């Protein structure tokens, strides 16, 4: 879930969860899966698909996250009012999976991209979330605000009735969400997907019963020309079969590329703009803190808060 200044989460839909790192697993060059547990997760209700949550990272030099209030109505103001050096860093992530173990324990998985940590080609100035994940060890705790009901507005994937095909674009930050969506789609759903990842071994093929035609775009060090490469891939893999009558497009990843892909679909492929759900998951050169500050200052007009990242 992404929180903006004007829109703290509705009390009934979201609440705080105290999560404990149970284990980590490297999935590919850029991905680390962190599995969290903890008694409070008994009340966690992921809606699946691209369900997101917000993590609160301890400030530098601190082991634990402390918030002055975790009350649904007052936490946001209290968090904003904290001195910057003390304020836990808030970051948005996807609930890759939620399950109950045979022993009755609740677990969630989050797949972190380890950008800017020396394991990814992309450099980054600070990247506290990627750094935190890279150092995660069992027993470490973190606060999250996440869904307490499965039907919540942080599930953005909402194809309207009558949709006859799903089109997807995701970069590595949105691949966990795309994979979770694909896992839940009914057998035979027509899917055309373009997935952009930094390295060859980041091509984590999703399990799906959908009829999914996936094109992988491997960046291997491409910098700001990345958007052009994605558009080239889209144009050169135009569907050979007749275009669907009512496609629904779900796009997520770096904000500039997401906007360019949306423009391509609407202008070059005549996709109804109302059938395109696009979300900027991050923006080149800006931390999530800076994006939130922009939103807070009212500089980013928004359809969906995260769309404007
Ligand atoms: C709804 C939603 C769901 C998301 N789900 C996931 C998820 O499941 N997994 C995941 O890894 N990310 C996910 N993200 C993206 C993640 O929130 C951002 O990448 C975030 O900026 C990471 O925080 P950070 O502290 O590591 O870096 P920041 O401090 O926010 O950024 C530091 C610098 O790194 C750059 N940067 C940020 N992300 C990347 C990147 N991936 N590659 C290269 N440079 C980058 C920024 O432009 C900035 O210059 C999601 C975002 C949203 C809005």
Task: Compute, in angstroms, the gap from residue 150 CA to the centroid of ligand 1.
Answer: 24
Task: Compute, in angstroms, the gap from residue 282 CA to the centroid of ligand 1.
Answer: 5
In the structure, which protein residues have their CB atom closer than 6 angstroms to any atom of ligand 1?
2, 52, 91-94, 111-113, 115-116, 122, 124-130, 173, 176, 281-288, 306
Of the given ranges (162-171, 181-190, 239-248, 280-289), which has the lowest mean pLDDT? 239-248
- The residue assigned the tokens 């997935």 is 195
d(CA 26, CA 70): 32
Residue 285: alpha-carbon gap to chain centroid: 18
- Per-residue burial over 157-187, b = 16 or more CB atoms within 10 Å of its CB, e = otherwise: bebeeebebbbbbbbbbbbbbbbbbbbebee
Is the model's pLDDT at 122 over the cut of 70?
A: no
> Minimal CA–CA distance to 288: which of 46, 115, 170?
115
Per-residue model confidence (pLDDT) at position 230: 94
Q: Return the best residue to mutate from 31, 48, 98, 115 for the ligand 1 pocket (most ligand atoms within 8 A of CB).
A: 115
pLDDT tens sequence across 54-100: 999 988 778 888 898 888 889 999 998 999 888 999 999 999 999 99
Task: Compute, in angstroms, the gap from residue 301 CA to the centroid of ligand 1.
Answer: 20
Task: Compute, in angstroms, the gap from residue 222 CA to the centroid of ligand 1.
Answer: 18
Residue 254 CA neighbour count, 13 Å, CB half: 23
pLDDT tens sequence across 137-189: 999 999 999 999 999 999 999 999 999 999 999 999 999 999 999 999 999 99
Q: Tell whether pTM > 0.95.
A: no
Per-residue model confidence (pLDDT) at position 232: 92
pLDDT tens sequence across 14-41: 999 999 999 999 999 999 999 999 999 9
Run of H or E including 50: none
- The residue assigned the tokens 């999560």 is 19
CB 212 within 8 A of CB 191: yes
Q: How far is CA 83 from CA 68, 69, 124, in A?
A: 12, 14, 24
- The residue assigned the tokens 């390295």 is 199
């Amino acid at each position: 879930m992404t929180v903006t200044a004007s829109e703290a989460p509705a009390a009934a839909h979201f609440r705080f969860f105290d999560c404990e790192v149970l284990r980590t697993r490297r999935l590919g060059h850029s991905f680390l899966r962190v599995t969290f547990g903890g008694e409070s997760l008994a009340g966690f209700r992921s809606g699946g698909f691209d369900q997101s949550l917000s993590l609160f990272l301890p400030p530098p030099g601190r082991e634990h996250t402390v918030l002055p209030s975790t009350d649904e109505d007052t936490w946001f103001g209290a968090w904003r009012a904290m001195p910057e050096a003390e304020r836990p860093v808030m970051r948005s992530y996807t609930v890759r999976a939620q399950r109950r173990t045979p022993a009755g324990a609740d677990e969630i998985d989050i797949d972190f991209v380890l950008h800017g940590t020396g394991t990814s080609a992309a450099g980054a100035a600070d990247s506290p979330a990627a750094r935190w994940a890279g150092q995660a060890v069992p027993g470490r705790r973190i606060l999250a605000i996440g869904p307490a009901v499965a039907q919540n507005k942080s599930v953005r994937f909402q194809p309207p009735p009558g949709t006859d095909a799903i089109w997807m674009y995701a970069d590595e930050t949105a691949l966990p969400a795309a994979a979770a969506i694909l896992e839940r789609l009914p057998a035979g759903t027509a899917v055309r997907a373009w997935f952009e990842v930094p390295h060859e071994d980041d091509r984590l093929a999703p399990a799906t019963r959908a009829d999914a035609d996936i094109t992988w775009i491997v960046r291997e060090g491409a910098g700001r020309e990345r958007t052009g490469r994605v558009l080239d891939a889209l144009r050169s893999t135009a569907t050979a079969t007749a275009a669907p009558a009512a496609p629904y497009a779900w796009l997520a990843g770096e904000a500039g590329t997401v906007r360019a892909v949306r423009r391509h679909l609407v202008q070059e492929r005549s996709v109804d703009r109302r059938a395109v759900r696009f979300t900027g998951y991050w923006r080149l050169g800006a931390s999530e803190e800076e994006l939130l500050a922009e939103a807070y200052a009212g500089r980013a007009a928004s359809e969906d808060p995260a769309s404007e990242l």
